[in-house]
């Protein structure tokens, strides 16, 4: 039960304020009754709300793993809340203050969420993506081909044939033991960290159209490498970064909205003892 301690205040306030739990109609199959306490219904949505108030590492667990402890906790809390209402605790000044604070936070959170959903449109995200693309500075990547053989001598013989003008693709199809053999040794584009160090160091040191003048050894065997092209990595597609852009735009627009609300409001600040607070000096 210790993992649920952080949820006590939120759940207790909800139960004290709302009375018996009954989030949906009894015919809602997507939100079934999971328990009854003296006839009062506890529904699946109540457990999900409780789960949402847990610490992040627990909140991310599947509800199936948390179901029994959540259910037991909801029942126990419901019983305590019912006893507390019967004892008049719901009319206590402290409880009413907590309820008011809780409602304030929830209203603010829901307003912010709805406002964000309204502001962060597809057009906003597409404009953010265009800006992202214009400032994107991708790492260098190259396109290379290679011929993989078992011995250094074989690699040296292939280099000699290349120096005499034989085609790299033909030699790769004939001699290479690597999976890229059928493509003439073509490995496509890759960045330095995507290949083993000896191979990457040799490949990135080449000029476009050059091949290695000495065999390159890795754990896979001996390589002869040719640099086909060199370029800067382009920005990832919109679909790949859409959610990251959404988070960034949400933070930006939320910040602007809060700034606007602050600018319109008359705000006075006071010290802990209630005395007037000296405004911060403008830089």
Query: What is the pLDDT, as a whole number, of residue 283?
Result: 60
Give CA–CA dist 7/46, Å, rounded: 12
- Which residues are paired to 5 by β-bridges? none
In tens, the pLDDT along 113-152 reads 999 999 999 999 999 999 999 999 888 999 999 999 999 9
User: From the DSSP assignment, how many helices (H) and strands (E) are in the chain?
Assistant: 10, 6
In the chain, CATH 3.10.50.40 sits at 140-232
Q: What angle do CA 128, 118, 254 make, to 5 degrees?
A: 65
Give CA–CA dist 188/165, Å, rounded: 23
Q: Is the pLDDT of residue 182 over 50?
A: yes
In tens, the pLDDT along 231-248 reads 988 899 999 999 999 999
- Give the pLDDT band (50/70/90) at residue 21: very low
The stretch 183-188 carries a mean pLDDT of 96
Top CATH class of 140-232 equals alpha beta
Q: Is the pLDDT of residue 95 over 80?
A: yes
Q: Whole-number mean pLDDT of the chain?
A: 88
Query: What is the pLDDT, as a whole number, of residue 177?
Result: 96
Contact 94, 211 (CB under 8 A): no
74: its two tokens: 């909801």
User: Helix %, strand %, coil % for the chain, to 5?
Assistant: 55, 15, 30
Q: What percent of the chain is predicted at pLDDT more than 70?
A: 89
More confidently predicted of 92 and 7: 92
Query: What is the pLDDT, as a whole number, of residue 200?
Result: 96
* Span of 8-17, 73-82, 215-224 with lowest mean pLDDT: 8-17
In tens, the pLDDT along 45-63 reads 999 989 988 888 888 899 9
Q: How many CA atoms lie within 13 A of 16 on its CB side?
A: 25
Contact 233, 140 (CB under 8 A): yes
Contact 246, 120 (CB under 8 A): yes
Query: What is the pLDDT, as a whole number, of residue 19?
Result: 44
Contact 250, 117 (CB under 8 A): no
């Amino acid at each position: 039960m210790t993992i649920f301690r952080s949820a006590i205040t939120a759940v207790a306030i909800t139960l004290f304020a709302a009375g018996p739990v009954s989030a949906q109609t009894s015919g809602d199959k997507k939100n079934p009754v999971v328990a009854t306490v003296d006839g009062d219904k506890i529904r699946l949505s109540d457990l999900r709300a409780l789960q949402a108030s847990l610490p992040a590492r627990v909140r991310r667990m599947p509800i199936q793993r948390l179901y029994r402890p959540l259910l037991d906790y909801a029942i126990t809390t419901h019983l305590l809340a019912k006893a507390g209402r019967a004892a008049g605790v719901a009319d206590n000044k402290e409880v009413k203050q907590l309820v008011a604070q809780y409602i304030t936070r929830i209203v603010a959170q829901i307003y912010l969420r709805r406002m964000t959903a309204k502001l962060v449109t597809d057009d906003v995200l597409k404009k953010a993506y265009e800006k992202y693309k214009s400032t994107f500075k991708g790492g260098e990547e190259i396109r290379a081909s290679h011929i993989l053989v078992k011995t250094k001598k074989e690699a040296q013989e292939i280099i000699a044939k290349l120096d005499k003008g034989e085609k790299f693709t033909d030699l790769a199809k004939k001699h290479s033991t690597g999976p890229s053999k059928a493509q003439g040794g073509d490995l496509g584009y890759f960045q330095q960290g995507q290949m083993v160090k000896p191979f990457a160091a040799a490949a990135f040191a080449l000029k476009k159209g050059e091949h290695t003048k000495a065999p390159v050894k890795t754990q896979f065997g001996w390589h002869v490498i040719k640099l086909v092209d060199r370029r800067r990595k382009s920005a990832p597609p919109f679909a790949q970064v859409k959610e990251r852009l959404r988070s960034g735009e949400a933070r930006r627009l939320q910040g602007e909205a809060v700034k606007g609300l602050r600018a319109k409001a008359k705000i006075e600040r006071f010290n802990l003892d209630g005395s007037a607070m000296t405004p911060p000096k403008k830089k």
